[in-house]
Amino acid sequence: MSDTTTTPTTTGTDFEKARKKHVSERARAERRLGLMLITPAAIVMAAVTAYPILYAVWLSLQRSDLRFPADSEFVGLRNYITVLSSSLWWSDLGRTVLITVVSVSIELVLGMLLALVMHRALVGRGLVRTASLIPYGIVTVVAAFAWRLAFSKADGGFVPVLFGWETDPLTETWPTIGIAILAEVWKTTPFMALLLLAGLSLVPDELHEAARVDGATAWQRFWKITIPLMKIPILVALLFRTLDAFRIFDSIYILSNTGQNRDVETVSILGYNQLLNQLNLGLGSAISVLIFICVAIIAVFFIKGFGLQTTGERS
C-alpha cells in the first residue's frame, strides 16, 4: 500500500546509500512487527463477523428450517421475496425507523443540553457527570424493566396510580412505543452528551470571549460559534446513535412480553423470532441480511451525504 520511507531520493555518497539501506530495513522490520501485532485482532474480527455474515447470506438463499432439516434446498431469492412482500416486514421497518428518528432527535437536544451542563456548570460538574454515567452503564434490560414496572398496571407500577389511568399503557400499542422511546432516551442521552462534550471542549474559549465583547448574546454565540465548530462531533454522535437505535432489541423485548406483542415489534425482534423461535434460518437470515443492508445504507448516507470523515489518523 503506502511506502513510508522518508529518505531523500538523491543518494550521492556511500554514506547516504548505507543510511537508506539501514532506514528501509528498519522500516521493513517495523512493518513486520506492525502486521504481527494487528494479526490477532484482524483474525478475530474477520472470523466472528465477516464469516458469519457471509454464512447468513448463504443461508438466506436456502430453504433452511431447523424443524424440517431434510427439506433444505437452494431457493435463490425466494426468501427475500417472501420478506419484502410481507406487510409485517414493512410495518416493523416503519416502526423501527420511527423509534430511531424520534429517540435520536430527542437525544440530540437533551444530549446537547446535558453536555453544556457538564462542560460549563459552575457547581457540581463532577456530580452531574457521575449521575449521568449511571444510565450509560446500567444494563439495558434492567432499565427497560425499571420503566416497564413503573408504567405497567398489571405489575403494580406507580405511574398509572399517580395519574389515575384506567387502562394499562403496556397493553396499548402507541403508549408502549412511547415508553420504549423514553427508555431509549433515558439510557443513551448520556452517551450522546459525552460524545458532544468531547466536541464542546474543542471550541476555543477565546472565540466566545471575542464574540461576547462584540455584543453577541449567548443564544447567538451558541448557534454561530459552537454549532458550526461542532459539526463533525455532532454528525459522529448522530451516526453512532442512529445505527444503535436502529438495532433496538433489548427494551422492546422486555416491553413486548419477550417479543410476543407483534404490535410493537421492530426488525431486530422480527429477525430474532424467525431465527430462534420459529427456527426458520432461511427466512430469518434474509431478514438479518436486510437489516445489515439498512445499517450499511444509514452509514453510507451519513458518511457520503454529510461528508463525514471518520477514519484516518488524528491530524
Residue 123 vs 213, nearer CB to another protein: 123
CA distance 310 to 45: 19
Which secondary structure element, helix H or strand E, spans residue 63, and what is its range? strand 62-63
- Quote the least distance from Cβ 16 to another protein, whole Å: 21
Question: Min. distance of Cβ 12 from another protein in angstroms?
Answer: 26
The residues in 245-264 that bind another protein, with binding defined as CB under 8 A, are 246-247, 249-250, 253-254, 258
Alpha carbon distance 175, 193 (integer Å): 26
> Does residue 191 bind another protein (CB under 8 A)?
yes
Minimum CB separation of residue 65 from another protein in Å reads 12
Number of residues that bind another protein (CB under 8 A): 109
Confirm or reject binding of residue 175 to another protein (CB under 8 A): no
Can you tell me which of 11, 106, 135, 208 binds another protein, judged by CB under 8 A?
135
The answer to whether 170 contacts another protein (rule: CB under 8 A) is no
Subset of 224-243 contacting another protein (CB under 8 A): 232-233, 236-237, 240, 243
DSSP 6: -
124 lies in the binding site for another protein (CB under 8 A): yes
Query: Which range binds another protein by CB under 8 A, 81-89, 101-109, 138-146, 205-213?
Result: 138-146
With DSSP H G I counted as helix, E B as strand and the rest as coil, what are the percentages for the chain, rounded to 5? 75, 0, 25
- Euclidean distance between CA atoms 290 and 296, whole angstroms: 10
Using the rule CB under 8 A, is 34 a contact of another protein?
yes
213 binds another protein (CB under 8 A): no
Q: What angle do CA 242, 149, 251 make, to 5 degrees?
A: 20
- Is residue 305 involved in binding another protein (CB under 8 A)? no
- Rounded Cα distance between 130 and 67, Å, is 49
Beta bridge partners of 63: 73
Q: Does 137 bind another protein (CB under 8 A)?
A: yes
- Which residues lie closer than 8 Å to 27 by C-beta, 6 or more apart? 4, 5
218 binds another protein (CB under 8 A): no
Q: What is the phi/psi pair of residue 157, to 5°? A: -70, 155
Tell me which of 210, 227, 276, 297 binds another protein, using CB under 8 A: 276
Grid cell, residue 13, equals: 555518497
